Amino acid sequence: MTYFRKLKKSNRRAYFAVGIFFGLSLLLMLINLQVSPFFVWNMYSVKEVRSPDEAYIAYKLWYNGKLFDLPVEQDHWRMYYAYTIAKFDALRENGDIDPFTAKLRFYKVPEVIAQQLVNNAQSEKKYPEWLRGYLSEVTGEKIQNLVVKKYWLSYQANEKLSVDSSAVIISIN
C-alpha cells in the first residue's frame, strides 16, 4: 500500500493538506513562480561573479612552528576553530561588545539573562588559552607557541586570489 493510501485511511485532513500542497506547488512551478528554495534547482548553479572590490577574510593558525592543516576527514575540528576565531575577531574589533547584544536588546531580553548569553572582555582574554588547549587536544601535542594571522584577500582581474594585507591577531609564546 502506498504512503498516500495509508495517509488517506489514517488522517484525511493531512492527506488533503499534502495533496493541496503538491497541487499548488506543481501549478506554481508550471507558471514559473518560485515556491520555496527547495524547488529552486538553479540556486547553486549560477556562475559566481567575483568583484575586484570585494574583500575576503581568511585565518591561518601556526602552532609550534607548524601550520594547522588537517586532512579532510578531520575537517570538523578545523571548522570548530574557524568559527570560533571569526567570533573572537569580531568581538575584538567591536571593542569587546558582542554583536549579539544588539539582537538581545531588540528582543527585550532582560539584562541579567543577556549578560550570560554574550561574550565580553573577560571571555575575549580567555580565548587564546582556550584555543591552545583545544589545539593540544586535537593534535595530541603540547602547544608551546601559537600564532593566528588574519588575511584580507581579493580577486584580481585575471581571477587570481591575492593577499592584500595581513595582521597577527593572537600570539602566544
Q: What does the DSSP assignment read for 68-80? A: ----GGGHHHHHH
Confidence of residue 26 (pLDDT cuts 50, 70, 90): confident
pLDDT tens for each residue of 89-146: 988 888 888 888 888 888 888 988 888 888 888 888 999 999 999 999 988 999 999 9
Which long-range contacts link 123-128 to residues 24+ away (Cβ below 8 Å)?
123/91, 124/88, 124/91, 124/92, 124/96, 127/84, 127/88, 127/170, 128/170, 128/172
Q: Of 62-66, 75-79, 134-138, 147-151, where does mean pLDDT reach its minimum?
A: 75-79
* Residue 38 clears pLDDT 80, i.e. is over it: no
Say if pTM beats, i.e. exceeds, 0.75: no
Using pLDDT thresholds of 50, 70 and 90, give the confidence band for residue 79: confident
Q: Which residue has the higher pLDDT, 107 or 35?
A: 107
Q: Which residue has the higher pLDDT, 46 or 58?
A: 58
Q: Is the pLDDT of residue 36 over 70?
A: no
